[in-house]
Amino acid sequence: MIFSNIKNIDLTTIDERIKFCVDYFNEHDLINYNAGTYQTDRDDICFRIDEYETQIAQERYWQAHEKHIDVYILLKGQERIDVNIYEGVIYHRDKIDDMLMLEEMPYTNINFLSNFGDILVCNPNEAHKTGIHMDLKNKFKIALFKIRI
């Protein structure tokens, strides 16, 4: 897991695919993209723009992936993302979208995305629960890069 802001992240120490996502973010005005799925000029990296309201943690679900790294970059609003090493029981597996929905588990890291450009990278062994509000419900917008491994 990597948690930082794109202004502070050391690009010399991260995987070149994550660096590509940061560069793509810096070179495109993603805040003005509509919600939807987009392909980059790399076959192994696409991204989604999501915009929705946060919920309380009990209304969200744990997820993990087997064949993707998730790179979340906040565009506006605030979002809390809980992270834990995946050891939970799978209650739904979607092989097409590479989505494992997991039973409830305790979090080991809480990540507050509250500033433009806050970035969280979740590797396949890192379960995460997204879209949780920090203090009050709010609408947020995020760029979610999916790196196929």
Looking up tokens 């590797």 gives 123
Bigger pLDDT: 33 vs 94: 33
Residue type, 93: R
The pTM of this model reads 0.93
Q: Give the pLDDT band of residue 96 (cuts 50, 70, 90).
A: confident
Paired tokens of 93:
């597996």
Percent of the chain with pLDDT over 70: 99
Rg (alpha carbons) of the chain, rounded to whole number: 14
Distances (CA, A) of 51 to 2, 3, 46, 77: 22, 21, 17, 10
Residues 53, 132: contact at Cβ < 8 Å? no
Residues 22, 72: contact at Cβ < 8 Å? no
- Write the pLDDT tens digit of every residue in 24-74: 999 999 999 999 999 999 999 999 999 999 999 999 999 999 999 999 999
Question: Could you count the other beta carbons within 10 Å of the beta carbon of residue 146?
Answer: 19
- With H, G, I as helix, E, B as strand and everything else as coil, classify residue 57: helix
